[in-house]
Amino acid sequence: MAVKDLIIPSHYENKLDLVTTEIAIKYVKDLFEKRLANHLNLMRVSAPLFVDVESGLNDNLNGVERPVGFDIKEMQRDMEIVHSLAKWKRMALKRYHIDVNKGIYTDMNAVRRDEVLDHLHSSYVDQWDWEKIIAKKDRNEDTLKMCVHTIMKALVETQSEVIKVFENLEPFIYEDITFVTTQELADRYPDLTPKQREYMICKAHKSVFLMKIGDTLSNGEKHDGRAPDYDDWNLNGDILIYYPVLDCVVELSSMGIRVDAETLRNQLEKAACKEREAFPFHQMLLNDELPQTIGGGIGQSRICMVLLNKAHIGEVQVGAWSEEMIETCAKEGIHLL
């Protein structure tokens, strides 16, 4: 447990008691997902908790995180709890025969056993996963930025309603968002670490979309890792905000235009994992059997945490925490669910 890295705000005011917090969590989730679906033209679908290991559908994340695996006795097959639904959603869009400029969204629940647990990170991940079909001609930054603006609009609309109902809450999400690439950020702050760069840009601009994550920068390093087989590293990014309650950056969403056949080959080669081309999903993509899409994940507990002005993600979701973490938080008026 990363209790030593826990951010404890001075003079923390827990503005909602436990019961009111639970009511507010449902209110936030109901409001936001309706606005997200409406603004992005999405329909809600069911989604898997686990996928077949041999399908290649699981998100590889940074390539080092261990998935939770188990076997199904009746089928004699090995399964993995999903890390995300990035690839599964693209398959679902094909299967459901969704039209261009329409898409799907779902609740994604995952277990990330190797996560370092702190005020923003839990082993339990809950997010809205969404995916939308786009035309080939729309695989560009304009499409990406338009979707970012749309999500920010849905977030701010939700925030406006929440602070009307729970009047002592403060708004911390701003619709006006700054776009910057990882290379531009490295050029601007060459002596800082990637996380320090994110803090500086978010402190200055409040809402930031950090673009082009996954490839190597001019200094020979990566800003952050991205699996090579879902996002196009030149057409992706994270929605980041500055959160004054903790004086830190909070990532609310990771999203991007997905790889086409050419991009997949290039990125698999860069990541030294060409063997993935043999997976069924990758074969379909290489044979142009899957639609061109844009999609991402939006953290449910992260959104609730910020909109409800909480200091710890455990205040808005039931996770697993050490006794030391629970006791440290309780002393500061931070009550974990």
What DSSP letter does each residue of 31-86 carry, written as one string?
HHHHHHHHHHTEEE----SEEEGGGT-S--TTS-PPPPEEEETTTTEEEEE-S--H
> Cα–Cα–Cα angle for 213, 214, 217, nearest 5°?
85
Residues in the chain, overall count = 337
From 122, 254, 267, 317, active-site residue: 254
Tell me if residue 59 is catalytic: yes
**131 pLDDT higher than 80:** yes
Is there a domain that residue 118 lies in?
yes
Q: What angle do CA 63, 144, 223 make, to 5 degrees?
A: 40
319 part of a folded domain? no
More confident residue, 29 or 8: 29
Encoding tokens for residue 248?
Answer: 């830190």
Q: Is 46 a catalytic residue?
A: no
Q: Total structural domains in the chain?
A: 1
Q: Is the pLDDT of residue 31 over 60?
A: yes
Share of the chain above pLDDT 90, in %: 72
Between residues 32 and 74, the one the model is more confident about? 32
Assigned domain for 327 exists: no
Catalytic, out of 59, 118, 231, 232: 59
**Confidence at residue 63, expressed as pLDDT on a 0 to 100 scale:** 65
- Residue 316: inside a domain, yes or no? no
Range of the domain at 71: 11-310
Predicted pLDDT of residue 319: 87
Distances (CA, A) of 293 to 99, 129, 243, 276, 310: 11, 13, 31, 20, 34
**Residue in 33, 215, 238, 315 annotated catalytic:** 238
Q: What is the mean pLDDT of residues 296-300?
A: 95
Handedness of CA 260, 215, 254, 173 (dihedral sign): negative
**Residue 69 confidence (pLDDT):** 87
Average pLDDT over residues 217-243: 94
- One of 33, 84, 90, 112 is an active-site residue; which one? 112
- Percent of the chain predicted with pLDDT > 70: 99
On whether residue 317 sits in a domain, the answer given is: no
Supply the pLDDT for residue 114.
84
Catalytic residue among 65, 107, 224, 251: 251
pLDDT of residue 86: 85
Active site residue 44: no
231 noted as active-site residue: no
CATH number for the domain harbouring residue 195: 3.30.930.10
* For range 120-142, the mean pLDDT: 95
Residue 1 has pLDDT above 80, yes or no: no
Put simply, whether the predicted model's pTM sits higher than 0.85 gets the answer yes
- Phi, psi (deg, nearest 5) at residue 28: -60, -50
Instruction: Work out the average pLDDT over 63-73.
Output: 83
**Mean pLDDT, residues 259-266 taken together:** 95
Cα 297 to Cα 94: distance, rounded to the nearest angstrom: 19
Contact 228, 268 (CB under 8 A): yes
Is 54 a residue of the active site? Answer: no
Give the confidence band of 311 by pLDDT, cuts at 50, 70, 90: very high
Pairing of strands 293-299, 124-133: antiparallel
- Of these residues, 122, 127, 253, 317, which one is catalytic? 127
Q: Is 267 a catalytic residue?
A: no
Indicate the average pLDDT of the chain. 92
Q: Is residue 322 part of a domain?
A: no
Q: Which of 62-66, 84-88, 240-244, 294-298 has the lowest mean pLDDT?
A: 62-66
In a domain, 288, yes or no: yes
